A and B are shown apart, each in its own frame.
Chain A
Amino acid sequence: MQQDVYVIIPVYNEAPVIGAVVGAVSRVFSNIVCVNDGSYDDSAAEIVKTGAVLINHPFNLGQGAALKTGIDYALQDADAAYFITFDSDGQHQIADAVGMLEVLKEGAYDIVLGSRFLGRADNISLIRASVLKAAVAFSNLTTGVRLTDAHNGLRVFNRRYARQIDITMPGMAHATEFVHAIATGKFKYTELPVTILYTEYSKKKSQSLFNSINIGFDLLMRRISKK
């Protein structure tokens, strides 16, 4: 087990699958931090059963805030050197995370991002793929960081990057903050192909495409008002 690796899983109402997801991760990694982001189902109880660290947000703050809480917790351990962000709905493959970690450990990069468009996105709808591509184009244009997939939750990064990343965006707009931090901190980055499994469960859980309008607005307002 790799003691210097922390896997951070933001959780919001994932009781039916979280046990299995954490179970799969725990076969490879021992430090698993689940941030229960104000779930009103049995997610917390399911996490306790797995033996992973459970952090309870007092109320729902959004996935970005949950990731930040998990990263802050992991940073308290001075030996934590590598950080993995992993979705709780079963879309990500642990083998992909392991592959990305290996690349990061070679030392050439500060952050390795997963890309479903370099790899496989099973059962992705045409409209979802189009919106995600538009998000990538927007992200590339505004940050100058060239990526093929800007909204992939599977990321592996080192301690230096973890200390730098500050997530303040509401909802799902935080994905752009990860990219923005790469640009501002001049971090070395690369993308690796990953497989995203769009199961019936994850499709039901995934955000509405209309939310991309909210994300765009939030990004614009923040970008301008933070100057």
Chain B
Amino acid sequence: MIVIQVLLICGIVAVFGWLLLNPRSQQVHAWIKILAAAFTTFGVVVIISPGTSDRIAHSVGVGRGADLLLYSIAVSFVYVMVSVYTRNIDEQEKFEKMARAIALLDTRVRELNDLLTETQEQKKKT
């Protein structure tokens, strides 16, 4: 097994495991930013000097720098996807709780209103 295969498999497993164990930590969100910065830098290096990125790629067993970038993007994509999904679930839950509170409050107000109208009507009759 070539170096890159080992690295990629370890990367995917580690990213998934770590993310799923700490989906809501500040660290996860910080890492997304660090990853974005690293990719921007690497992207710039690939454009300016394809030779440098190729040399990095060769050192881990990948043919071209562009391929290494693609592999890294694939791992990062999984990372970002799981992270965004988890965050989305949290937001959805908050949203749902708020909507439920509004619905129950609205029902209570209507019930009290009906009661008030009923009492007023009874008063008028007497």
Contact = CB atoms under 8 A, between A and B. Distances in A.
29 contacts: A54-B107, A55-B103, A55-B104, A55-B106, A56-B103, A58-B99, A59-B99, A61-B100, A65-B96, A65-B99, A65-B100, A68-B100, A69-B100, A69-B103, A69-B104, A73-B107, A76-B104, A168-B93, A221-B85, A221-B86, A221-B89, A222-B89, A225-B20, A225-B23, A225-B82, A225-B85, A225-B86, A227-B20, A227-B21
Dominant secondary structure of chain B at its interface with chain A: helix
B87 to A, nearest CB: 10
B117 to A, nearest CB: 15
Interface string A61-74: 10001001100110
A137 interface: no
Dominant secondary structure of chain A at its interface with chain B: mixed
Which 4 A/B pairs are nearest by Cβ-Cβ distance? Answer: A55-B107, A69-B100, A225-B86, A225-B23
Interface of B: 20-21, 23, 82, 85-86, 89, 92-93, 96, 99-100, 102-104, 106-107
Contacts of B100: 57, 61, 65, 68-69, 72
Q: Interface centre among A54, A69, A170, A222, by most B CB within 10 Å?
A: A69
